Amino acid sequence: MQNQKVAEGEHVLLYLDQRRTYLVKVEAGKVLHTHKGFIKLDDLIGKEYGSTVTSNLNVQFTILKPLLHDYIMKSVRRTQIMYPKDIALIIVFSGIGPGSRVVEAGTGTGALTTALAHFVRPNGRVYSYEIRKEFLETAERNIKRAGLADFVELKNKDITVGIDETDVDAVVLDMATPWLVVPHAYKALKPCGTLVSFSPTIDQTVKTVEALKANGFIDIETLECLVRGMQTERGKTRPQTLMTAHTGYITFARKALKIAATETSQGNNDDF
Amino acid sequence: MQNQKVAEGEHVLLYLDQRRTYLVKVEAGKVLHTHKGFIKLDDLIGKEYGSTVTSNLNVQFTILKPLLHDYIMKSVRRTQIMYPKDIALIIVFSGIGPGSRVVEAGTGTGALTTALAHFVRPNGRVYSYEIRKEFLETAERNIKRAGLADFVELKNKDITVGIDETDVDAVVLDMATPWLVVPHAYKALKPCGTLVSFSPTIDQTVKTVEALKANGFIDIETLECLVRGMQTERGKTRPQTLMTAHTGYITFARKALKIAATETSQGNNDDF
Amino acid sequence: MQNQKVAEGEHVLLYLDQRRTYLVKVEAGKVLHTHKGFIKLDDLIGKEYGSTVTSNLNVQFTILKPLLHDYIMKSVRRTQIMYPKDIALIIVFSGIGPGSRVVEAGTGTGALTTALAHFVRPNGRVYSYEIRKEFLETAERNIKRAGLADFVELKNKDITVGIDETDVDAVVLDMATPWLVVPHAYKALKPCGTLVSFSPTIDQTVKTVEALKANGFIDIETLECLVRGMQTERGKTRPQTLMTAHTGYITFARKALKIAATETSQGNNDDF
Amino acid sequence: MQNQKVAEGEHVLLYLDQRRTYLVKVEAGKVLHTHKGFIKLDDLIGKEYGSTVTSNLNVQFTILKPLLHDYIMKSVRRTQIMYPKDIALIIVFSGIGPGSRVVEAGTGTGALTTALAHFVRPNGRVYSYEIRKEFLETAERNIKRAGLADFVELKNKDITVGIDETDVDAVVLDMATPWLVVPHAYKALKPCGTLVSFSPTIDQTVKTVEALKANGFIDIETLECLVRGMQTERGKTRPQTLMTAHTGYITFARKALKIAATETSQGNNDDF
């Protein structure tokens, strides 16, 4: 067993209850203010992960090592709509894994980027396109905080103009006009590579599916995912009262090879 | 670009349409029989991934490289109830990733084992417990087919008796009596390690949550996941007609350190 | 207490279990054949409702008085997609009740017609339009079986051409092109009257909502309804395994009065 | 066409938009204050239903005749959990209709009572039990406002002690301990009569189903209903962002006759 004690400079998750957790960098001399009193971060240094620390109001917080899920949740902004449930389906259904090379757009605040980087380690890479500079700065901070900067290349570029990379395993799109990227994604992907697109509206989804069909993709599937929490307690068990009704539709597709013109009669291969 | 052509001994996914795919090992001289005619597997060797092959009835199949998702789907038996959607949430919400050491029970046909092994590569390891020998044989075949045998240790042991490993990152349970494993899981896990339990019934879930609360786990959360497909086609877009209404409830928890008796005044540690 | 004994000519529901019920007219000398043996219908006459009858294979069936719900379920054909859940929302959310005058199209097999007739009794009326004669015959049989023929006027007419009735409380549409009926419905409805439209696809729904907005309707709302059964049994409680994922979207709207040109200053009433 | 103009003493629904409606009694000299200015109720008298009225801030409100749905919505309190969707299923699945005699408990604020009374008109009756006097007063106000007081008998009695009525068509329970009422409901119901029970928790549902099985009910079914709104607009169509995840489980059952002791061999009828 190693690396079990909190060291200065590490990020920890202070857990009060299911709704109140604090992702904080342990810096000597600093203080965390909460509704339940303040905690001197000096008190954390040298403590074991999983143990507790006490605020000046005598409330106990458990010191947890942040997991991927925590980094994702703390990177999600109100205005964003891709939730961990969607990120989970995207990663497991797309075939991404250690060693994968993945193109992503847009970066946003980096929640999906963080998850992708986590899973392509140690020898894969995420190329993340974003046109809005202010988002790139936030995303960079979030990715660094999760210790994943080595696996990400942030690119301040418009992906609807083109993709620099080739032979990638997957292209993952969470942007307003994914259908404009489909032809570029076809060129960037390996044969059998996966394209994933996430869109809040039906209309975006239909346009994207049409572009996929027109550009040599097969195995096209769209789905939505609903997650409902349960309040589990003997004698009182019941689902939660409110839930997220919709984040977006996720479309998956795979690149097939287009039949070369020489195999067909007329030889017009302009669109290949 | 390398490794793009089909070689003898590889597994390929032959794709006819969304509902009909065939996961097959390419062996010289063998034949695949389908509703749409037969395919000589010799014809596949040397073809590019993403290209097509034609059956004797002149029907085209696309040759795809199988993804994790395909290996999972082809390992799932009718009687099993953990679906890729659940596997996705388990992997992304539990903090598992490259390098993780994970204990799993029961192995079943190896669908979850395959996914765990895929994501802990190249330096992590899955220790999978199963008491039914006939399942272990099926699981071993499925895991080998996915090329992941190096990352899995299959154990023909009863996990309710104890867990051999220590200092693991996660314990993932898909078995009839997960609550019996909770104390063993506590010992096996690193501080802050994650326990995940999947159960079809409410009653199993309540018992497991009670055991978690009684055994030093915090951040306990139960949820269910519903996935609904969309038929996406301009002018005809609508959700699918039938869906899976229930597979199971997933419970997540993290190990906190129990306060040692000497840190409290009186030393009564009966309940630890 | 009256009318408690089964009389010849009545319809009864023979209940074997949750999945196997038989809606049958009690005719002397006739026999009902089931998987569990045959039942002489003579045996039912004079028996009390709620009591049991025994097949020749010694299996017991309970004799139930059919409820509206049974008549609906036994009128629904495989190809139909409006389920009792949708009928329930339509009736309760639309303000229909005893005394209401309701226009419906298309009649189909009469499942919704039966429900509407049941609730507008004793002094309301349902005017049901259907262009396909063969459906009208089936619908008539189903409505008669439920004893509701006095409250229904079946019309073999194309509702997209116009509606004969005026001053009606509600117009309920379950047809391929509801948007074509919207202007006719506006004329047929009382002020504040309700239009309800049921459509399987998003595209039909969008067209209908656009027509409603353009034709003086307000309070426009679209929703979908999902019903999931629970297997309730101590120690084994869990949701059912499969469910209907989609039947259709239901849109509700109310007729507002259009502002007459003379009431506004300038008199441009092109769009009214 | 009659009764189309607003008269003093009537209730009207002033509609601003989908989220802002006001159910108000038209009393001469009174004023309604809204976020969008105030409206003199005198201005409403003599206006046509479906027309608009203008606030002092020059904002238009449409004058609608309230529907059952509006009365229900305006009777629902935050702390209540039975929603119109559940009321709809209860009414249509239970076989209730014009002429039905229905026992209900508890009355609560009268939302379900209002709906039941609406549908049993003109010759049915609702007997509604409530032990909390303060709720009965609120309920009475709400039922009177909907013009349905003639069809309801409010009873300040504990239904777990017994039911006064006999030969009723349905017993509908929305209370903490429905299983205590099951034997009383059996006595009160006609043969084939329906019992409906609504409970927020699994545990209440299981206890109720057990009591139903033990007390001569058959055709027992439990379900839950989810309603999700759609934002329907060309180019932007998508489900709503948040939804109610749970109100309660609804259980339906029908009374079968118990087999009289003389029909069985030994005549021990202790359990009847």
Place of tokens 């529907």: D67
- For chain B positions 104-123, those within 8 Å of chain A (CB to CB) are 115, 118-119, 121-123
Q: What is the CA radius of gyration of chain B?
A: 22
Q: Which of B43, B243, B21 is nearest to A218 (CA)?
A: B21
Asked whether the beta carbons of residue D203 and residue A237 sit closer than 8 angstroms, the reply is: yes
Place of tokens 């003109």: D122
Please give the share of chain C, as a percent, with pLDDT higher than 70: 92
Asked whether the beta carbons of residue B244 and residue C242 sit closer than 8 angstroms, the reply is: yes
pLDDT tens digit sequence for A206-219 = 999 999 999 999 99
Question: To the nearest 5 percent, what fractions of chain B are helix, strand and coil?
Answer: 25, 35, 40
Provide the token pair at C71. Answer: 């008549």
Cα separation, D63 vs C257, in Å, equals: 9
* Mean pLDDT value of segment A92-119: 96
D200 half-sphere exposure, CB direction, 13 A CA radius: 20
3-state secondary structure of D227: strand
pLDDT tens digit sequence for D69-93 = 899 888 876 556 678 999 999 999 9
Confidence band, pLDDT 50/70/90 cuts, at residue A95? very high
The CA-CA-CA angle for residues D191, D192, D198, to 5°, reads 115
Which of C80, C246, C250 is the mutation pick for testing B, counting most B CBs within 10 A?
A: C246
Domains observed in chain D: 11-66 (3.10.330.20), 69-258 (3.40.50.150)
Cα of C178 vs its chain's centroid, Å: 17
Residue of D94 and C2 predicted with greater confidence: D94
**D73 with D23: CB under 8 angstroms?**
no
Cα separation, A142 vs B112, in Å, equals: 30
What's the pLDDT score for residue C174?
A: 96
Whether C19 has its CB under 8 Å from any CB of chain D: the answer is no
What's the pLDDT score for residue A78?
A: 54
pLDDT tens digit sequence for B6-57 = 999 999 999 999 889 999 999 999 999 999 999 999 999 999 999 999 999 9
Residue D169 has pLDDT above 60, yes or no: yes
Contact partners of C by the rule of 3+ C-beta pairs under 8 A?
Answer: B, D
pLDDT tens digit sequence for C112-131 = 999 999 999 999 999 999 99
Cα separation, D83 vs C92, in Å, equals: 11
Cα separation, A43 vs A56, in Å, equals: 11
Whether A79 has its CB under 8 Å from any CB of chain D: the answer is no
What's the pLDDT score for residue C249?
A: 97
Residue C262 has pLDDT above 80, yes or no: no
Residue D270 has pLDDT above 80, yes or no: no
Residue D2 has pLDDT above 60, yes or no: no
Contact partners of A by the rule of 3+ C-beta pairs under 8 A?
Answer: B, D
Residue of B180 and B268 predicted with greater confidence: B180
Minimal Cα–Cα distance from D196 to chain A, Å?
Answer: 19
Confidence band, pLDDT 50/70/90 cuts, at residue B75? confident
* Mean pLDDT value of segment D104-117: 95
Q: Which residues of D are less than 8 Å from A239 in CB distance? A: 245-246
Q: CB-based burial of residue C138 (10 Å sphere; 0-12 exposed, 13-18 middle, 19+ buried)? A: middle
Please give the share of chain D, as a percent, with pLDDT higher than 90: 86
What's the pLDDT score for residue C77?
A: 66
- Report the Cα–Cα distance between both ends of chain B, in Å, rounded: 57
Burial C39-58 (b: 16+ CB within 10 A, else e): bebeebbebebbbbbebeee
Give residues with Cβ within 8 angstroms of C123, minimum separation 6.
C98, C99, D122
**C91 with D88: CB under 8 angstroms?**
yes
Give the residue ranges of DSSP H helices in D156-266: 182-188, 202-214
Give residues with Cβ within 8 angstroms of A147, minimum separation 6.
none
Cα separation, C134 vs C85, in Å, equals: 26
Please give the share of chain A, as a percent, with pLDDT higher than 70: 92
3-state secondary structure of D121: coil
Range from A75-84, B99-108, B139-148 carrying the lowest mean pLDDT: A75-84
Give residues with Cβ within 8 angstroms of A137, minimum separation 6.
none
Cα separation, C110 vs B225, in Å, equals: 36
Mean pLDDT across chain D: 91
* Mean pLDDT value of segment A153-175: 98
* Mean pLDDT value of segment C45-73: 93
Alpha carbon of B150 to those of A3, B108, B114, B168, C54: distances in Å? Answer: 26, 18, 11, 18, 63
Minimal Cα–Cα distance from D242 to chain A, Å?
Answer: 5
C7 half-sphere exposure, CB direction, 13 A CA radius: 3
Provide the token pair at B256. Answer: 């906190």
Q: Which residues of B are less than 8 Å from A228 in CB distance? A: 223-224, 226
Asked whether the beta carbons of residue A245 and residue D236 sit closer than 8 angstroms, the reply is: no
Q: Which residues of A are less than 8 Å from B99 in CB distance? A: 121-122
Confidence band, pLDDT 50/70/90 cuts, at residue B78? low
Cα of B92 vs its chain's centroid, Å: 12
ipTM over 0.85: yes
DSSP state string for A128-168: EE-S-HHHHHHHHHHHHHTT-GGGEEEE-S-TTT-----SE
Chain B residue with Cα closest to C203: B235
pLDDT tens digit sequence for C164-211 = 999 999 999 999 999 999 999 999 999 999 999 999 999 999 999 999
Residue C162 has pLDDT above 50, yes or no: yes
Residue D61 has pLDDT above 80, yes or no: yes
Q: CB-based burial of residue D78 (10 Å sphere; 0-12 exposed, 13-18 middle, 19+ buried)? A: exposed
pLDDT tens digit sequence for D28-53 = 999 999 999 999 999 999 999 999 99
Q: Which of A87, A88, A169 is nearest to A127 (CA)?
A: A169
Mean pLDDT across chain A: 91
Question: To the nearest 5 percent, what fractions of chain C are helix, strand and coil?
Answer: 25, 35, 40
Q: What is the largest CA-CA distance in chain C?
A: 82
Alpha carbon of A199 to those of A202, A251, D63: distances in Å? Answer: 8, 8, 39
Cα separation, B199 vs B208, in Å, equals: 9
Across the interface, of B4, B89, B209, the residue whose CB is closest to A191 is: B4
Cα separation, A88 vs B85, in Å, equals: 8
Return the number of other C-beta atoms located less than 10 Å from residue A180's C-beta: 17
Confidence band, pLDDT 50/70/90 cuts, at residue D192? very high
Give the residue ranges of DSSP H helices in chain A: 68-75, 84-93, 111-120, 133-145, 182-188, 202-214
Name the CA dihedral angle for B234, B237, B240, B246, rounded to a multiple of 10 degrees. 120
Provide the token pair at C52. Answer: 């049991």
Whether C133 has its CB under 8 Å from any CB of chain B: the answer is no
Confidence band, pLDDT 50/70/90 cuts, at residue C87? very high
CA-CA-CA-CA torsion sign (B265, B266, B267, B268): negative
What's the pLDDT score for residue A81?
A: 65
What's the pLDDT score for residue D1?
A: 45
What's the pLDDT score for residue C75?
A: 82
Mean pLDDT across chain C: 91
* Mean pLDDT value of segment A35-64: 95
Confidence band, pLDDT 50/70/90 cuts, at residue C82? confident
What's the pLDDT score for residue C246?
A: 95
**C116 with C91: CB under 8 angstroms?**
yes
- Region of A79 (left: φ > 0; alpha: ψ -120 to 50; beta: rest) is alpha
What's the pLDDT score for residue A263?
A: 41
Whether A57 has its CB under 8 Å from any CB of chain B: the answer is no
Whether B46 has its CB under 8 Å from any CB of chain A: the answer is no
What's the pLDDT score for residue B80?
A: 60
Chain A residue with Cα closest to B18: A219
- For chain D positions 230-259, those within 8 Å of chain C (CB to CB) are 230, 232-234, 237, 249, 251, 254-257, 259
The CA-CA-CA angle for residues C150, C156, C161, to 5°, reads 120
Residue B3 has pLDDT above 60, yes or no: no
Confidence band, pLDDT 50/70/90 cuts, at residue D266? very low
pLDDT tens digit sequence for C221-234 = 999 999 999 999 98
Residue B167 has pLDDT above 90, yes or no: yes
CA-CA-CA-CA torsion sign (B148, B149, B150, B155): positive
* Mean pLDDT value of segment D199-216: 97
Residue A1 has pLDDT above 60, yes or no: no
- Report the Cα–Cα distance between both ends of chain D, in Å, rounded: 56
What's the pLDDT score for residue A262?
A: 41
